[in-house]
């Protein structure tokens, strides 16, 4: 495994840990008439993101790397709309990063890492769509 792939996998873990916390806090802090529906979506997404962090860490460990335990900066937001806007930003960042990792995995002929990130990328695109749909309501 190249240093670049190692670093990108750790970036992915740090990001997944951060959004897990970000989304869980939004679930707890969300207020307003629409909050029960919105916060339930955010809670479900937080759990999925934590599973992503675990899967990526397991892959990195298998490849001989040391998974990070440090999250990237967490952005909570003040209102439901602001929270979802921040979540959209986070999902777009993840999509960009995971496409880079897929390309790196291709370069290294690492089909397992590629498959893992194709699956995670699909989830992230689903999260992005769900958050964008929430803002349209």
The CATH number of the domain holding residue 114 is: 1.20.1260.10
pLDDT at 132 > cutoff 80: yes
Token digits of residue 19: 């959004």
In which region does residue 74 sit, left (phi positive, over 0), alpha (psi from -120 to 50) or beta (all else)?
A: beta
Confidence bin at 97 (pLDDT 50/70/90): very high
Give pLDDT tens digits for 29-87: 887 767 888 889 999 999 999 999 999 999 999 999 999 999 999 998 989 999 999 99
Confidence bin at 129 (pLDDT 50/70/90): very high
What pLDDT score was predicted for residue 21? 96
pLDDT at 125 > cutoff 80: yes
CA 60 vs CA 10, 53, 70: distances in Å:
8, 10, 15
pLDDT at 130 > cutoff 90: yes
CA 126 vs CA 32, 59, 107: distances in Å:
25, 23, 26
pTM for the full model?
A: 0.94
- State which residues form the domain around 14: 3-136
Q: Tell me how many domains the chain contains.
A: 1
What pLDDT score was predicted for residue 36? 85
**pLDDT over 90, % of the chain:** 85
What pLDDT score was predicted for residue 35? 80
């Amino acid at each position: 495994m190249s240093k670049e792939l190692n670093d990108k996998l750790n970036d992915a873990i740090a990001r997944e840990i951060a959004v897990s916390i970000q989304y869980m806090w939004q679930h707890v802090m969300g207020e307003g008439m629409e909050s029960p529906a919105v916060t339930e979506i955010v809670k479900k997404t937080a759990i999925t993101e934590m599973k992503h962090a675990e899967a990526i860490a397991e892959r990195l460990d298998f490849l001989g790397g040391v998974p990070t335990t440090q999250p990237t900066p967490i952005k909570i937001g003040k209102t439901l709309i602001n929270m979802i806007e921040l979540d959209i930003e986070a999902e777009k960042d993840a999509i960009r990063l995971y496409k880079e990792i897929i390309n790196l995995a291709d370069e290294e002929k690492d089909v397992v890492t590629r498959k893992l990130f194709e699956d995670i990328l699909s989830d992230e695109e689903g999260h992005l769509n769900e958050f964008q749909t929430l803002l349209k309501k």
